[in-house]
């Protein structure tokens, strides 16, 4: 009997309450799946967590699938993203470097869109952060899972109207299937 493949899922609530719970059933018994019960929130939070709280859990993973971004681009009372772009790029680069030391395959999921009426997040910021980060991660050998591109064509169907940020059941299903399909390629 072959050893189970270790898959780690990291990310914000798009993973935590969205596609993440669907992944174990989609990947089946051939995988040992670990994902924190905690929301990965913004990039500095995830950086700290992988350096301390989640360090042992992520070690020697066959595949790590990760996202951060929605919290980083959220505007506060000063109408600026929580994490300035240069800080986001530096932090995400550090996260990638640490995760690459712990896995054979690192996959980054692009930040998903919000509705046009979200009061604190602009899709233009999401687009800018994704577009600037992706080439940096690709240069490091990170595989890109473009969940943003999957959701953009039908935001009305895929993003909930009650909070303008989390995915609908359809959005969660489409993302979960895409995540599982991409992970399978590297097992």
DSSP string, 6-53: EEEEE-SHHIIIIIGGGHHHHHGGGEEEE--SS---SHHHHHHHHHTT
Largest Cα–Cα separation, the chain:
57
Strand partners, 109: 145
Q: Tokens 């980083």 map to which residue?
A: 72
Domain that holds residue 51: 5-185
Q: What is the pLDDT of residue 76?
A: 85
Average pLDDT of span 73-94:
96
Give residue-wise pLDDT tens across range 138-166: 999 999 999 999 999 999 999 999 999 99
Look at residue 2 and tell me whether its pLDDT is greater than 80: no
Listed in sequence order, the residues at least 6 apart from 1 whose beta carbon sits closer than 8 Å to its beta carbon are none
Q: CA nearest 12: which of 49, 39, 35, 45?
A: 39
Q: Is the pLDDT of residue 1 over 60?
A: no
Give how many domains the chain has, as a whole number: 1
Chain center to CA of 113 = 12
Residue 8 has pLDDT above 60, yes or no: yes
Measured distance CA(97)–CA(128) in Å, rounded: 22
**154 three-state secondary structure:** helix
Domain harbouring 80, CATH code: 3.40.50.1110
Residue recorded with tokens 């959220």: 74
């Amino acid at each position: 009997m072959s050893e189970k493949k270790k898959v780690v899922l990291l990310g914000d609530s798009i993973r935590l309450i969205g596609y993440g719970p669907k992944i174990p059933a989609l990947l089946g018994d051939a995988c040992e799946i670990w994902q924190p019960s905690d929301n990965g929130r913004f990039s500095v939070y995830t950086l700290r967590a992988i350096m301390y709280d989640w360090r042992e859990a992520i070690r020697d993973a066959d595949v790590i699938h990760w996202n951060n971004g929605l919290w980083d681009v959220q505007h506060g009372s000063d109408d600026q993203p929580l994490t300035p772009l240069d800080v986001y790029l530096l932090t995400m680069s550090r996260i990638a470097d640490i995760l690459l030391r712990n896995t054979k395959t690192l996959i980054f999921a692009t930040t998903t869109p919000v509705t046009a009426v979200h009061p604190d997040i602009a899709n233009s910021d999401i687009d800018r952060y994704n577009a600037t980060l992706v080439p940096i991660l690709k240069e490091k050998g990170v595989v890109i899972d473009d969940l943003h591109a999957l959701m953009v064509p039908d935001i009305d169907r895929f993003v909930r109207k009650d909070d303008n940020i989390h995915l609908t059941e359809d959005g969660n299903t489409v993302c979960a299937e895409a995540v599982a399909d991409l992970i399978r390629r590297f097992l």
